[in-house]
Chains A and B, each alone.
Chain A
């Protein structure tokens, strides 16, 4: 393991920082002075440890593979969008469409996530310690979304096989999303996700599970009022 390498975005460009990280095989890195720049540390594909000291803009850690990215601050739209594997952690809040279309890996948001968190999710896990905004998990396909706080309107609208675990209130459920039983396998899965996200002292019994009613899986004119 290489020693920690530091990049200061007051001295180098985003392109230079990204290129160095995309070419690295291993090691730990610190990025200083991000000041909300976009597309930071996207396209990584190695078991790196990257710490970002401050707020980031759009698409931070986009399409991440393998790397573990920690943002000490807030994140803009599309955090960890289309992540394939690895882990992304934000100490603050995340804007819209966090982990949009993400295929794998774990996204942990210590604060709140805005609208459309986990939209079109394709297999990744998301743990939000605060609240999530409206239309979260819209058209989400597979994977897990855990919300320790409340969920906004139209949670899980038109979802497929994603599992939604919410501890707080749900403002409303979207089309074809219903509450489902918490069986032992769900408690076990949720426990593992909470542990992976460092949620100590949180019991799985405090959560409700939501998922697809599977009534809109095939287009049927009898369901036309639901569309």
Chain B
């Protein structure tokens, strides 16, 4: 490492990554497109800690006393709400961006522990419907593969207004991933770049959305919970408007949320961190007296049971994971280190989900690469990971004396930074100070 030579001083402003990007841009004339989510340092749930039990709060016994993790989503209007055994769901990821085996693995893993998975911008595949005990069907601007039969097969419908990685952005599935099957599902020619629209073709604004929700309910006999998913842009207003439009569930996706293919400048510079978005979404629900009546699902950079517990403590009803789920089934596996190196990446760094050459066989449509992912093993790995998240969240809840993970509350936490205290609305550790609220 050059930084071991104290005669060399790296520029903070022009660090090696910045210099490399300028050189890459100068060589290609193209902006950088990649997968994954925001990679730069951001305020996160790590900036919060739980206080645990003390003289005024008594804890629950870790291996004996029960701590509920079940949650029901869609209790507002839907005749058939979704009942989850754990408050952790799998976020929308498309067949097309992911292989069929990867979709199957996600379905298997989620089903094994009693939670839901979600389609993406490519329609519903038999693999994921067949292997997902509870499947949320995304209603996206592109409407690729949208049809009333699949709508009725779904257990819930998620109207996607935006996603955390790119609020206000559409998508592009590059031609190298457009196989015959993907093309057929999307009614487009094989091998060409496929744009995913950034806004819905037949509604604009919350008043239209209300009517759109009515139509979807009419088509599905008012049975299915209707989620509205927004990227974390203006979560207070977006949550309020989604509720006004008739949503059963609001999904708020922070800027750490993943993507299959988006401009790097979009990923890193649009939207607000998940930590900041949760508080605003909860505040919106509380102000209109709809907290816990309309459920809130939070996504974007959830990695551990601590993240799950902190999101719930701030007032979410459940969380959703995407990137972490892919890692659990085998993404960035060191087993393929040599293959990552061959394509100019490394295990732990691979982010070119758009390229279709994923050594782990997950973000690809190459049949040989896709074979590398065993959907049964991948599914079991995901189930294991979800169990760990759940156990960790329960551990933290019991330590704070809670017999239900959703009984965690902001008062159970302290912030380690002034920024986190302001964003999360919890006191700076060792003080009673919440910036902006009490001085």
Bound pair: A and B? yes
Residue-by-residue, is A150-177 near B (CB-CB < 8 Å gives 1, otherwise 0)? 0000000010110000000000000000
* A81 & B202 in contact (Cβ 8 Å cutoff): yes
Kindly state the separation between the CA atoms of A84 and B150 in the bound complex, as whole angstroms: 12
Q: Which residue of B lies closest to A121 (CB)?
A: B187
Return the contact of A120 from the options B197, B211, B218 (Cβ within 8 A): B197
Give the residue among B30, B175, B193, B218 with the most A Cβ atoms within 10 A.
B218
Residue-by-residue, is B363-394 near A (CB-CB < 8 Å gives 1, otherwise 0)? 00000000000000000000000000000000
A146: Cβ under 8 A from any B Cβ: no
Interface bracket on B: 20 to 34
* A62 & B215 in contact (Cβ 8 Å cutoff): yes
A82: Cβ under 8 A from any B Cβ: yes
Interface size on A, residues (CB 8 A): 42
* B219 & A63 in contact (Cβ 8 Å cutoff): yes
Return the contact of A77 from the options B28, B174, B186, B203 (Cβ within 8 A): B203
* A22 & B202 in contact (Cβ 8 Å cutoff): no
- Main SS class of interface, A: loop
User: Whole-angstrom distance from the CB of A23 to the nearest CB of chain B?
Assistant: 10
Kindly state the separation between the CA atoms of A59 and B216 in the bound complex, as whole angstroms: 10
B343: Cβ under 8 A from any A Cβ: no
* B202 & A97 in contact (Cβ 8 Å cutoff): yes
Residue-by-residue, is B221-253 near A (CB-CB < 8 Å gives 1, otherwise 0)? 110000000000000000000000000000000
User: Whole-angstrom distance from the CB of B222 to the nearest CB of chain A?
Assistant: 7
Contacts of A218 on B, CB cut-off 8 Å?
Answer: 175, 192-193
Residue-by-residue, is B182-202 near A (CB-CB < 8 Å gives 1, otherwise 0)? 000011110011010100011
* A42 & B215 in contact (Cβ 8 Å cutoff): yes
Kindly state the separation between the CA atoms of A17 and B16 in the bound complex, as whole angstroms: 65
Give the residue among A22, A57, A100, A219 with the most B Cβ atoms within 10 A.
A219
A9: Cβ under 8 A from any B Cβ: no
B133: Cβ under 8 A from any A Cβ: no
B148: Cβ under 8 A from any A Cβ: yes
Given the known interface contacts A43-B219, A62-B215, the answer about A82 and B193 at a Cβ–Cβ threshold of 8 Å is no
* B143 & A101 in contact (Cβ 8 Å cutoff): yes
- Main SS class of interface, B: loop
* B192 & A139 in contact (Cβ 8 Å cutoff): no
* A123 & B211 in contact (Cβ 8 Å cutoff): no
Given the known interface contacts A38-B211, A59-B202, A77-B202, the answer about A15 and B148 at a Cβ–Cβ threshold of 8 Å is no
* A38 & B148 in contact (Cβ 8 Å cutoff): no
A134: Cβ under 8 A from any B Cβ: no
Kindly state the separation between the CA atoms of A18 and B220 in the bound complex, as whole angstroms: 11
B327: Cβ under 8 A from any A Cβ: no
Return the contact of A59 from the options B174, B192, B211 (Cβ within 8 A): B211
Kindly state the separation between the CA atoms of A141 and B148 in the bound complex, as whole angstroms: 19
Contacts of A110 on B, CB cut-off 8 Å?
Answer: none
B11: Cβ under 8 A from any A Cβ: no
Kindly state the separation between the CA atoms of A221 and B24 in the bound complex, as whole angstroms: 14
Contacts of B192 on A, CB cut-off 8 Å?
Answer: 160, 217-218
* A103 & B147 in contact (Cβ 8 Å cutoff): yes
Return the contact of B195 from the options A57, A96, A122, A139 (Cβ within 8 A): A139
Give the residue among A62, A101, A221 with the most B Cβ atoms within 10 A.
A101
* A82 & B146 in contact (Cβ 8 Å cutoff): yes
Given the known interface contacts A59-B212, A96-B202, the answer about A101 and B218 at a Cβ–Cβ threshold of 8 Å is no
Give the residue among B142, B174, B219 with the most A Cβ atoms within 10 A.
B219
A211: Cβ under 8 A from any B Cβ: no
Given the known interface contacts A77-B202, A160-B188, the answer about A15 and B147 at a Cβ–Cβ threshold of 8 Å is no
Residue-by-residue, is A212-227 near B (CB-CB < 8 Å gives 1, otherwise 0)? 0000011101000000
Q: Which residue of B lies closest to A84 (CB)?
A: B147
Q: Which residue of B lies closest to A63 (CB)?
A: B148
Kindly state the separation between the CA atoms of A115 and B201 in the bound complex, as whole angstroms: 11
B151: Cβ under 8 A from any A Cβ: yes
B68: Cβ under 8 A from any A Cβ: no
* B142 & A120 in contact (Cβ 8 Å cutoff): yes
Kindly state the separation between the CA atoms of A107 and B50 in the bound complex, as whole angstroms: 59
* A42 & B219 in contact (Cβ 8 Å cutoff): yes
Return the contact of B201 from the options A57, A101, A217, A221 (Cβ within 8 A): A101
Closest 10 CB pairs of A and B: A43-B219, A78-B202, A97-B202, A39-B215, A101-B143, A217-B192, A100-B202, A63-B148, A100-B201, A122-B187
Write 13 A-B pairs (CB below 8 A) sorted by A numbering: A15-B218, A15-B222, A39-B215, A58-B211, A59-B202, A63-B147, A63-B219, A77-B202, A78-B212, A160-B189, A217-B175, A219-B193, A221-B28
5 new A-B contacts at CB < 8 Å, known A42-B215, A119-B201, A219-B174: A77-B208, A97-B201, A120-B142, A160-B188, A161-B189
